Amino acid sequence: MDDDSELLERLRNGELALHELEDETSPDEAADIRRRYIEEQEDVSLAETGAEHDSEEATANIENAVGATRVPLGIAGPLRVEGEHAEGEYRVPMATTEGALVASTNRGCSTITEAGGATVRILKDAMTRAPVFRVSGVGAAAELAEWVETNFDTLKQAAESTTDHGELVRAKPYVVGDNVYIRFAYSTGDAMGMNMATVASRAACEVIEDETDAHLVALSGNVCSDKKPAAINAVEGRGRTVAADVVLPRSLVREKLKTTPEAVAEVNERKTLVGSARAGTLGANAHAANVLAAVYLATGQDPAQVVEGASAYTTASVRDGGDSLYFSTTLPALELGTVGGGTRLPTQNEALSLLGVAGGGEPAGDNARELAEVVAGAVLAGELSLHSALASQHLDEAHERLGRD
């Protein structure tokens, strides 16, 4: 009996758990044996799943590996971006299964580029983690809040001792009865920074427990707020807060988008602003999550953080006596990076290289900020195209042509 057959037999007999295979053999062999076992047990074929995966390269990104899921990758652009970190024309990689999405975003990119490009600025840059402490009551809570403000430099020193690139920029207390939530905010260089913020916050929490009567209940108290729709992220920001806008001449709106500035502005008011308010959404946009999810998958970001990123605000107005359309998108919580996590995977790293932002920037943080500005420009393009399709009554035609079998 060869080694693979022996390991497979041990799985069948319950002598070996699926997650223990990497202790017995290489990651690639472990994934192959695990896949064969599941095929046998569930009477399915995972041949395509296995063909797409290199377990050696994905060891740090997945557990109980059996393969990989193939998502089609398309390119939108070129998109001209005029930012503080991104300047020039970019081809935007988008991984999606939604027909018409890349074509729609591409139309927005083309229109924005012809108008001279999207102006983009990063307004805030800080990843958050908010542990929750238990205290004896509101008096002690107020004292702890004051202690945090008075001893910020001590907390900063402790937090930054755990990282080469992270910097603690704020520590803001929130009190609810005998609960105190401290929302630590960090500049995280080129990393998305969630792990960095968590480790650094642990060190700061140890100082708080040593120096006060507060007791740490949980390192994350949900005031962060990570991977959940949250007003605090929409208002205060999380990760990078980025704004993008463009001014389009009336002739370009008519030629490229087949509509008018007035019609786009009306769709924005009645659908995006009033409709969102009536529905109680966090953010007010047409489909920011669509572009974010596609770019996140393509470039190795954490797709769950589309939840926060999608709380975007899109505005439109007629300007210059009717001669132009002003169009903007502001993303309060754009969480992404160019190092760590899925950015190390081969296809995702290629996508980042296509944008010219793979790996760490020089100075640290420059690549991630450039990526953030490009992503904001891409969301602007997607928003512009969908608003225009609705204004011109062409949305269903595009989906009939590109999004259906």
The model's pLDDT over 280-336, given as tens digits with 9 standing for 90+, comes to: 999 999 999 999 999 999 999 999 999 999 999 999 999 999 999 999 999 999 999
CATH 1.10.3720.10 fits 73-125+241-402, yes or no: no
What tens-digit pLDDT sequence spans the chain (405 residues)?
Answer: 567 889 999 999 999 999 999 999 999 899 999 999 999 999 999 998 888 766 667 778 889 998 889 999 999 999 999 999 999 999 999 999 999 999 999 999 999 999 999 999 999 999 999 999 999 999 999 999 999 999 999 999 999 999 998 999 999 999 999 999 999 999 999 999 999 999 999 999 999 999 999 999 999 999 999 999 999 999 999 999 999 999 999 999 999 999 999 999 999 999 999 999 999 999 999 999 999 999 999 999 999 999 999 999 999 999 999 999 999 999 999 999 999 999 999 999 999 999 999 999 999 999 999 999 999 999 999 999 999 999 998 655 554 555 555
pLDDT value of position 3: 72
Between CA 312 and CA 331 the distance in angstroms is 5
CB 376 within 8 A of CB 329: yes
**Residues in CB range of 173: below 8 A, 6 or more apart:** 144, 145, 148, 149, 180, 181, 182, 183
- What residue has token string 């990526």? 371
Q: What is the pairing mode between strands 179-187 and 313-319? A: unpaired
Annotated catalytic residue 302: yes
CB 220 within 8 A of CB 130: yes
What is the residue type of 208? I
pLDDT value of position 397: 59
**Residues in CB range of 261: below 8 A, 6 or more apart:** 248, 250, 253, 316, 318, 319, 322, 324, 325
Between CA 384 and CA 368 the distance in angstroms is 24
Provide the CB-side half-sphere exposure for 270 (13 A, CA). Answer: 8
Annotated catalytic residue 397: no
Annotated catalytic residue 98: yes
Rg (CA), the chain: 24
pLDDT value of position 53: 67
Helical segments of 80-193, H only: 101-114, 138-150, 152-160
Q: Pick the catalytic residue: 24, 54, 266, 399?
A: 399
Q: Is 1 helix (H, G, I), strand (E, B) or coil?
A: coil
Burial class of residue 41, CB neighbours in 10 A (0-12, 13-18, 19+): exposed
pTM tops 0.85: yes
Q: Which CATH architecture has domain 131-218?
A: 2-Layer Sandwich (3.30)
Express the helix, strand and coil content of the chain in percent, nearest 5 each: 50, 20, 30
pLDDT digits (tens, 9 = 90+) for 229-254: 999 999 999 999 999 999 999 999 99
Between CA 334 and CA 330 the distance in angstroms is 10
Q: Pick the catalytic residue: 28, 302, 350, 394?
A: 302
Q: Pick the catalytic residue: 98, 114, 167, 266?
A: 98
Between CA 285 and CA 93 the distance in angstroms is 22
Domain ranges of the chain: 3-58, 73-125+241-402, 131-218
